[in-house]
Homo-oligomer: A and B are copies of this chain.
Amino acid sequence: MCTASNYITKDHYFGRNFDYEISYNERVTITPRNYKFEYRLIDDIESHYAIIGVAAGVDGYPLYYDACNEKGLSIAGLNFEGNAVYLEEKEGMVNVTPFEFIPYILGTYSNVSEVKKALENINLVNINFSEELPLSPLHWMISDDTGAIVVEPLKDGLKVYDNPVGVLTNNPPFDKQLFTLNDYRSLSNRNPENTFSKDFDLDEYSRGMGAIGLPGDLSSSSRFAKVAFTRANSFSSDGEEESVSQFFHILGSVEQQNGCTFINDPDLYEYTIYTSCYNTNKAVLYYRTYSNSQITAVKLMSEDLDSAELINYRLETEEQIAYIN
C-alpha cells in the first residue's frame, strides 16, 4: 500500500512511498495562490497558500496524493481500506469531501497546530469526485517542523493522534500500529549482550544482530515497524543533499519490489510507483520513480505563484543512466 515518513535535520523533510499495482499517470502539480478552489458544500476559495505535490493525472483539479504548501505544512493520504468511514453532511461543521481535504488544509493553514484546532470542526462527507473516480478509503499524516499528527476518519468521526514515531503505513488504525511497536522495544542498532544464558557462550557472528526480530515482509504492520526503526536510528549530516539522500534511504527500507506482492494474474503486482521527499522549509519536491533511480526535483518557488492556473510536470519514469565511457 503506502508508507509516509518525516525526517528532521536542519530542515524538515516529509514524503512517502506510493505503492500500488497501476499508475494513474501521477504528475507533479503546482496550485498557485489564485487558482479558484470550488468546494461541494462550503464556499469557494479564491485565494490561498500555494501548493506543490503529486496528484493523479486528472485535468482541471489537483487530486493530490501528497503535497506541501509554501508555509512548510505537508500532508499525505494513505490507503485505509476497511477502516475509513466518510459521513453525511453535518450542520455546524466544515463539510469537505475527502478529495478536497488536502487542498483545503494546505490552502488554509500554515502549521500543524492550526490544523489540529481546525480538525475539531471538520466533517469528511461521503461525496465522490465523479462517478468514475469514487472516493478512496484514506487516513492522513500531516507534518511540519514542529511534529506530526495522524487523522483517521472512523465511524464516530475524525480521530486525531499525535505521531511520535513520524511514520505511517496503512491498516490497522494508528493506535494499534503504535502499540505493536512495544513488542520491538529491545531492538537496537548495537549487537546485544548474551542474556540467553550465563552458562554458555553464544557467537556474535554478524554485525546488525541487535535488530533481529524486526520484520521484513511488506504487509502494512511490518513496514510500520521496519521504517519506524530505520527512521529512529537514522544518521546523516544535515546538509540538503545528505538529508534528501538519507530520506530516500529511509523510505527505501520499505520499498515494495515488483513481484513480491501478488495482486492478479498475469503478472500484476503492487510496487513502489514513486517516492516523494519534500523539503517543506524550502518547498522543494524531490522524487524518484520505480523505473528511474535518479532524483528529480521541482521547486515551488520557481513558478509564478500568483497565477490562477495549475502547472503540471509529468513524472520522469525513464531510467537516467550516466554513461562514463
A26-62: CB near B (< 8 Å → 1, else 0) gives 0010000000000000000000000000000000000
**CB proximity to B under 8 Å, residues A183-208:** 183-208
Residues in B neighbouring A22, C-beta threshold 8 A:
none
Bound: A210/B179 CA distance, A: 17
A240-255: CB near B (< 8 Å → 1, else 0) gives 0110111011101101
* Residue of B184, B196, B230, B297 touching A187 (CB-CB under 8 A): B196
The segment out of A64-72, A120-128, A314-322 that lies at the interface is A314-322
**CB proximity to B under 8 Å, residues A218-254:** 218-222, 225-226, 228-230, 232-236, 241-242, 244-246, 248-250, 252-253
Bound: A82/B244 CA distance, A: 37
The segment out of A90-98, A109-117, A129-137, A262-270 that lies at the interface is A262-270
Establish whether residues B294 and A322, one from each chain, have CB atoms under 8 Å apart when the complex forms.
Answer: yes
Residues in B neighbouring A319, C-beta threshold 8 A:
241, 244-245, 295
A250-290: CB near B (< 8 Å → 1, else 0) gives 10110111111111000101100000000000000010101
* Residue of B188, B192, B213, B232 touching A199 (CB-CB under 8 A): B232
Given contacts A182-B204, A219-B212, contact A321 B296 (CB under 8 A): yes
Given contacts A200-B164, A203-B182, A216-B226, contact A189 B261 (CB under 8 A): yes
Q: Which residue of B lies closest to A216 (CB)?
A: B216
Residues in B neighbouring A241, C-beta threshold 8 A:
291, 318-319, 321
Q: Which residue of B lies closest to A28 (CB)?
A: B324
**CB proximity to B under 8 Å, residues A291-307:** 291-299, 302-303
Establish whether residues A217 and B218, one from each chain, have CB atoms under 8 Å apart when the complex forms.
Answer: no
Residues in B neighbouring A320, C-beta threshold 8 A:
294-295, 322
* Residue of B181, B216, B217 touching A202 (CB-CB under 8 A): B181
Establish whether residues A233 and B260, one from each chain, have CB atoms under 8 Å apart when the complex forms.
Answer: yes
Establish whether residues A189 and B269, one from each chain, have CB atoms under 8 Å apart when the complex forms.
Answer: yes
Establish whether residues B297 and A313, one from each chain, have CB atoms under 8 Å apart when the complex forms.
Answer: no
A residues lining the B interface (CB < 8 Å)? 1, 28, 82, 164-165, 170-172, 176, 179-222, 225-226, 228-230, 232-236, 241-242, 244-246, 248-250, 252-253, 255-263, 267, 269-270, 286, 288, 290-299, 302-303, 313, 316, 318-325
28 contacts between A and B (CB under 8 A): A164-B199, A186-B212, A187-B195, A187-B217, A188-B196, A188-B262, A189-B261, A197-B232, A199-B232, A200-B232, A206-B221, A207-B219, A207-B261, A208-B261, A210-B262, A211-B260, A212-B215, A212-B217, A213-B213, A214-B217, A216-B216, A230-B257, A233-B260, A234-B260, A236-B258, A294-B322, A302-B325, A320-B322
In the complex, the 8 A-B pairs of residues with the closest C-beta atoms, listed nearest first: A216-B216, A235-B259, A197-B232, A186-B192, A211-B217, A208-B218, A188-B195, A164-B200
